[in-house]
Amino acid sequence: MELVGLDHVQLAMPFGEEDAARRFYAGILGLTEVAKPAALSGRGGCWFVGTSTHVHLGVEPEFRPAAKAHPAFLVPDIEKARQSLAQAGIEIVDEDSLDVERFYANDPFGNRLEFVAVSDRGFSDPAVARDLRSADRTS
């Protein structure tokens, strides 16, 4: 078997909080909301997409935030990401235990999110990192 990518990440959210999800994931993170397939639309939640990023938020009746498990979003300008979140009143938790520029923040529901600076390190093809940086600047 070979894994070649990640289609999407799904995070849980509480019932009836779609507007809070939209304010955060679209309004602050800059993702675009897309319609859920008709077969899933009655379940609540929201789906968002961005450059090489798909986030599905699904309603869990007995919601508990993911405090440890988390997606790690690549950002071309980590300082700009940090400032955008801080200006929106989101608490930033700096992390320097690895040789990677990164920090953590929580979504409105308490789900842990990691933000990682795009770099050539970690990619088998440096062009992938370069493409992510340039695609994000143009979107």
Q: What would the pLDDT profile of 6-30 be if each residue is shown by its tens digit? A: 889 999 999 999 999 999 999 999 9
DSSP state of 16: T
Does the residue 101 lie in any domain?
Answer: yes
Give 91-137 pLDDT, tens digit per residue: 999 988 887 889 999 999 999 999 999 874 454 444 555 555 554 44
The closest alpha carbon to 118, from 139, 134, 98, belongs to 134
Does the residue 3 lie in any domain?
Answer: no
Does the residue 55 lie in any domain?
Answer: yes
How many structural domains comprise the chain?
A: 1
In this prediction, residue 5 carries a pLDDT of: 79
Range of the domain at 108: 9-138
In this prediction, residue 138 carries a pLDDT of: 44
The model's confidence at residue 73, banded by pLDDT at 50, 70 and 90, is very high
Q: Reading across the β-sheet that carries 93-95, which strands appear in turn?
A: 72-75, 112-117, 102-106, 93-95
Whether the model clears a pTM of 0.85, i.e. scores above it, the answer is no
Residue range 37-48: mean pLDDT, rounded:
94
The per-residue DSSP string of 50-111 comes to ETTEEEEEEE-TT----SS---EEEES-HHHHHHHHHHTTPPPEEE-SSSS-EEEEE-TT--
